[in-house]
Amino acid sequence: MKNAQPQISIAEPCNQNWEDMNQKDGFNFCQACNKCVVDFTGYSNAEIIKTLASASSEVCGRLTETQLNQLNYHLVVSPANRSWMKYLGVLAIGVSVFSQNASALTVNPKAKIEISKDKADKFDEKKPITIKKISGRILDENKKPLEGIRVIILNTKYYASTDKNGNYEIKFINGIGIDNKILSVQSARFAGNLTLNYATEKQADLVLKLESMIVGRIMYNPKKG
C-alpha cells in the first residue's frame, strides 16, 4: 500500500481579525485562542516546512493561498529516495544559488522612467531582440506604486526589485531568448503576470491583486519513509 502524499493544510480557518491581534516581532498574539500566530508571509517554502517539521506542538499561522499551494507542490515533488531534511537543504541551496547568479542585475532608484501607456503594441516574434533592457512600473489595485516587489522573467535568471516609485529595470547582460517573455511577480502578498513586449524597453504598468490571507492551525502531514 502506497504512503499517503505529504500535505500542509488549514482545515478550519480562524475568523479572528489579524489586525486586532496584539502585534509582536514576527507573530501576533490571539487573545481568543491564547496562542501566538506566526506570520509566514515573508517566509520561503523551505523555512515554513522546517518550522513545521521542528515544532514540538501545533502551529498557528498566517499565509496566502498561493503559499499553501506552493508548499504542497514542493511536498509532492520531493525526491522519494532522499530524507526530508536533505530535501530542505536542497531547497535552501537552490534559493542561494539563484540569488547569487542574479546579483549582477540592478535597480536604479534614481532613474526617471517614462511609462508607455500603449498596451496594443505589436511585434514580430520572428525578429531578434534588439533592446538591451526593459523597465516598467508595479502598482497596487489603487494604482499606487509598490516598493520592494520582486519580478522575474520566467525560465531565466533575470530579476529585479521595485524602488519607492514602483519602478524596476532589468538589463539583458547575457542576452535573452524571445520565447522568455513572461514577467512574473514573486510575492507572498501580491500576484500578477505581464507578457513582455520586446519591441520597446518601456513596458506597460502591471497592476497587482492583493492575495487573500488564511489564518489558522496548520496541519502538517510529513512524508513517511
Question: Scanning the structure block, which residue is given the C-alpha cell 519580478?
Answer: 151
- Where exactly are the structural domains of the chain? 7-101+212-221, 133-210
DSSP characters for 126-186?
TSPP--SEEEEEEE-TTS-B-SS-EEEETTSS-EEE--TTSEEEEE-TT---TT--EEEEE
Partners of 202 in the beta sheet?
A: 135
Position 23 confidence tier, pLDDT thresholds 50, 70, 90 = confident
CA distance 116 to 43: 34
CA distance 87 to 81: 10
b/e per residue, 42-77, with b = 16+ CB within 10 A? ebbbbebbbbbeeeeeebbbbbbeebbebbbebbee
CA distance 36 to 158: 38
| Residue 66: alpha-carbon gap to chain centroid | 9
Is the confidence at residue 111, as pLDDT, over 90? no
Q: Counting every residue, how long is the chain?
A: 225
Q: Which residue has the higher pLDDT, 19 or 106?
A: 19
pLDDT tens, 27-60? 889 888 888 999 887 788 888 888 888 888 889 9
Backbone phi and psi for residue 50, each to the nearest 5 degrees, phi listed first: -65, -40
CB distance 34 to 185 below 8 Å = no
Backbone phi and psi for residue 111, each to the nearest 5 degrees, phi listed first: -65, 135
> pTM score > 0.75 for this model?
no
**Domain 133-210 class in CATH:** mainly beta
Q: Give which of 55, 54, 56, 23 is closest to 37, Cα–Cα.
A: 23
pLDDT given for residue 190 in this prediction = 82
b/e per residue, 133-152, with b = 16+ CB within 10 A? ebbbbbbbeeeebbeebebb
Q: Give which of 31, 92, 29, 91 is closest to 61, Cα–Cα.
A: 29
pLDDT given for residue 113 in this prediction = 39
CA distance 153 to 151: 7
pLDDT given for residue 194 in this prediction = 94
pLDDT tens, 135-153? 999 999 899 999 999 999 9
69 three-class SS: helix
Query: What is the rounded average pLDDT of the residues 69-81?
Result: 66
